[in-house]
């Protein structure tokens, strides 16, 4: 099931890549250390995005990996996502831009199960919504806050952090 979902996510990229006049890489961004909250716990997240432009549209291929912050336990809930989103970039000034994206994702969640002294692993399809405020530092580099909401049937996640982006 995981392989089929990844193939479905990457299939549009292969199709669009055949048209060399309108398809191009737009940006690469990374959130090296962000925080997440979901339910009654929170923790740290590492994430990255690859932006692909097709005419006026921007497609964002994203991955996030998060783990719960716990002091007195070795059991930590964790999650990972792989998303394909569509969105736009709104340029307010030459130094300030806002990005907004929405799409579909694969969501994998691992939570502690003390009864079996292990973990329960579940996965589902989710709906990520991403918003970034970018302050342009130079022609190709930007930095700014990023907020990502991941809605799904297992555990909805809110992620906030600083995003570093290189634009081509």
Q: Is the per-residue pLDDT at 108 higher than 60? A: yes
Where is pLDDT greater, at 9 or 155? 155
pLDDT in tens, 144-167: 999 999 999 988 999 999 999 999
- The label of the residue with tokens 């336990």 reads 73
Cut 0.85: pTM above it: no
Eight-state DSSP code of residue 10: H
The predicted structure's pLDDT at residue 36: 92
Q: Mind listing the domains of the chain with CATH numbers?
A: 24-167 (2.40.160.20)
Q: Please, what is the average pLDDT of the chain?
A: 85
Q: What is the DSSP string of 24-67?
A: EEEEEEEEEEEEEEETTEEEEEEEEEEEEEETTEEEEEEEEEEE
pLDDT at 83 over 60: yes
Model confidence at 22, pLDDT cuts 50, 70, 90, reads: confident
> Does residue 128 surpass a pLDDT of 90?
yes
Q: Is the pLDDT of residue 39 over 60?
A: yes
């Amino acid at each position: 099931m995981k392989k089929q979902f990844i193939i479905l996510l990457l299939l549009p990229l292969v199709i669009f890549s055949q048209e060399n006049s309108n398809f191009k890489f737009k940006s690469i961004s990374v959130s090296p250390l962000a925080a997440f909250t979901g339910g009654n716990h929170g923790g740290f997240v590492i994430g990255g995005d690859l932006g692909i432009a097709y005419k006026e549209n921007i497609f964002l291929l994203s991955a996030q990996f998060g783990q719960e912050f716990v002091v007195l336990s070795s059991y930590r809930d964790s999650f990972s996502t792989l998303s394909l989103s569509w969105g736009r970039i709104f340029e307010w000034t030459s130094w300030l831009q806002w990005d907004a994206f929405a799409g579909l994702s694969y969501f994998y969640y691992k939570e502690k199960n003390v009864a079996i002294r292990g973990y329960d692993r579940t996965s589902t399809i989710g709906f990520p919504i991403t918003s970034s405020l970018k302050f342009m530092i130079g022609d190709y580099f930007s930095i700014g806050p990023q907020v990502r909401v991941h809605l799904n049937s297992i555990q909805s996640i809110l992620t906030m952090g600083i995003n570093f982006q290189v634009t081509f």
